[in-house]
Amino acid sequence: MIPLMAVLRVERPERRRVRLWLPLFLLWLLALPVLVVALPVVAVILIAYRRNPLRIFGAYWQVLGAIPGSHIEMNRRGRHVYLHVY
């Protein structure tokens, strides 16, 4: 399943916490027409370089499907940034 939502939380000392809900499904809706046009072009280029496009597209789909459930935490000088992808 592709990532549909991300939550970004930023904590800074002596300041308000910031929490953003990022709807990734809107990004997918905007990117879909570009991807539909680019997919055959990329497939032809891969065939020209003697690569199997189905295998490569399958690998990208597996990476994309592994993103939901990811937690990323970054800390630096008292600032904390958390990203959770659903």
Give, for all 86 residues of the chain, the pLDDT tens digit.
Answer: 889 999 999 999 888 999 999 999 999 999 999 999 999 999 999 999 999 999 999 999 999 999 999 999 999 988 999 999 99
Write 74-81 long-range contacts (CB < 8 A, 24+): 78/12, 78/13, 79/10, 79/11, 79/12, 79/13, 80/9, 80/10, 80/11, 81/8, 81/9, 81/10, 81/11
pLDDT (0 to 100) of residue 24: 94
DSSP conformation class of 11: E
Single pTM value for the model: 0.75
Query: What pLDDT shows up at residue 77?
Result: 86
